[in-house]
Amino acid sequence: MSKQVHSKKNKILSIDRRETLKTFAAASITTLIPTQLRSSSSSDVIIIGAGLSGLYAATILQDEGYRVRVLEADNRVGGRVLSETGIPGNPETGGTAFGSGYARIIDISNRFNIQLNDLSPVLPYFRQQQLAINGEFISLKDWPDHPSNNLPKEMRMIPPNAFFQQFLGKMNPLKSPDGWMQEENFKYDISVHDWLESQGLNQKAIDLVYNMNISHGYNAKDVSILMLMFVNSFFNSQMSLGFRTSLVAEGGNMMIPEAMANNLNQEVLFNKRVDAIKTSSNKAEVICADGSIFKADHVICSVPFSVLRTINIAPAIEGLQAEAIEELNSQKINMLHLLPKSPFWESDEMSPNMFTDGLSGLVIANRNVANPEQVHSLTVWLRGPIAEQLDLMDRQDAISTVIQSIEQLRPSSKDQLEPLAYHSWYQSPYSKGDWAYWQPGQISKFGQHVGNRHGQIHFCGEHTAVANRGMEGAMESSERVAFEVMGLA
């Protein structure tokens, strides 16, 4: 099937499933595959990686009669979904929340009777973020005329933590989320810096609205604006369909991959780090670091490219897909969870949430959905250059540095912050970063090749998704590889 037709089917499937969810409530993916097309084959499939995409592909194929075996290098399932179940409120270190229009995630949660909590009661609190620049808190009423505000006059009302998405939303040329992979839009595959500059912003303004506490990439010159147009378009498409809230699984989002793993006929094998994959015309062999070897008709590889490049594949992948594997980066991000010993924010009469230009990064209070006034814990998001700087330190020094940064900004928090969990996604050997981010020129160069089948090897994961982002993107990619294995793509 040509790429163009495949992309069209992906789009139709995405729309159909959203409408099904919205109109008829949740249903299993198997209801979308005509009975007469379902495979009765007993062919074996080896799946590398027990994250959302790998486990969902395993679930679909098992439903269709395939014998699947999932190999996981770590000692747990979930991949980049990680719930801190030992902390009050089960805060998330990865896969923090998902939209109410994430049809695939909601379908699978309903299938396994996982309760989903609507975050609507806490979202207004989330949006209350204290802005801190150069060690000074700036109120929203003071922001338009503040000396740190170097935005053009007509833009000075918008705070920097809200500016970029609002501004991009008004200017976004994509008519649908999957438009980012269409050649007509490749002219936008330029840096965020160059695009913002073309819109009249100077370097100081770009530093303020994008480079401060960066969410994607390392700096504005490092990220393609076309990728962020996709992110923005996906968010706006969810909103336009009426999906305006976020959800989280009761007990933590880890409940979702754990339920899929528990449903498999063959248990996930842990501590199986894959060193090599060898393929022939109709067979594949997976060799693990512990010497174990697994053979199958197909291999589905769900690991991010930052990890895939450490696996020897024979015959070797060549051309643009090989370049993508070597060059596509994963986001550096560290997460620190803190237990407040007292509600110190009440004494300084500010929200516990902070958006800063320092090593405090982004601080978000995790609240009780049933009682939003109750704060369970604080999560500090440390991204891009901040994460890189902290990764140069040992664990304890990194934690202390962040806490000291918060205490310097807020004296009321002095000795009130107890560290409970800290995780660097870049330093994790099984992820080497979080979500994929695309540099200028990469989308137009090899974006259409990242998910290509290589002999008996199929590739999935959020980095290969076309129409959806994040957790839903991971699930979208699972459907594509399942169709490939079943001969439907």
Residues 16-56 have pLDDT tens digits of 443 433 333 333 333 344 333 333 333 599 999 999 999 99
Question: Residue 385 above 60 pLDDT?
Answer: yes
DSSP line for 99-167? ETT-HHHHHHHHHTT--EEE-TTTHHHHT--EEEETTEEE-TTTGGG-TT--S-GGGTTS-HHHHHHHH
Q: Which of 197, 193, 131 is nearest to 158 (CA)?
A: 131
Decide the pairing of beta strands 92-94 and 457-459: unpaired
Instruction: Report the predicted TM-score, pTM, of the whole model to 2 decimal places.
Output: 0.91
The full set of domain ranges for the chain reads: 3-80+249-328+436-485
Q: Which pLDDT band, with edges at 50, 70 and 90, does 6 fall under? A: very low
Euclidean distance between CA atoms 343 and 410, whole angstroms: 12
b vs e for 179-201, b when ≥16 Cβ sit within 10 Å of the residue's Cβ? bbbbeebbebbbbbbebbbeeeb
Distance in angstroms between the alpha carbons of the first and the last residue of the chain: 6
Q: DSSP class of residue 315?
A: S
At 43 the pLDDT is: 53
Helix-helix angle 470-485:103-111, to 10 degrees: 80
Contact 29, 109 (CB under 8 A): no
| Bridge partners (DSSP) listed for residue 375 | 367
At 59 the pLDDT is: 98
pLDDT tens digits, residue range 210-232? Answer: 999 999 999 999 999 999 999 99
Which has the minimum average pLDDT: 10-24, 68-82, 206-220? 10-24
304 contacts: CB under 8 Å, gap ≥ 6: 330, 431, 432, 433, 436, 461, 463
Contact 353, 365 (CB under 8 A): yes
At 35 the pLDDT is: 36
At 328 the pLDDT is: 98
Q: State yes or no: cis peptide before 315, omega within 30 of 0.
A: yes
Euclidean distance between CA atoms 208 and 81, whole angstroms: 30
The position carrying tokens 């940064």 is: 405
Q: Which pLDDT band, with edges at 50, 70 and 90, does 489 fall under? A: confident
The mean per-residue pLDDT over the stretch 395-415 comes to 98
Query: Number of C-alpha atoms within 13 angstroms, CB side, residue 60?
Result: 28
The mean per-residue pLDDT over the stretch 68-75 comes to 98
At 79 the pLDDT is: 98
Q: Which of 250, 15, 239 is nearest to 118 (CA)?
A: 250
Sign of CA dihedral 271, 82, 432, 466: positive
At 244 the pLDDT is: 92
At 4 the pLDDT is: 37
pLDDT tens digits, residue range 257-294? Answer: 999 999 999 999 999 999 999 999 899 999 999 999 99
Q: pLDDT averaged over the chain?
A: 92
pLDDT tens digits, residue range 131-190? Answer: 999 999 999 999 999 999 999 999 999 999 999 999 999 999 999 999 999 999 999 999
Q: Which two tokens stand for residue 416?
A: 């009130």
Contact 246, 262 (CB under 8 A): no
Class of domain 3-80+249-328+436-485: alpha beta
Euclidean distance between CA atoms 29 and 484, whole angstroms: 15
At 251 the pLDDT is: 96
DSSP line for 185-225? GGGG-SBHHHHHHHTT--HHHHIIIIITT-SSSSSTTSSBH
Which has the minimum average pLDDT: 6-10, 224-228, 419-423? 6-10
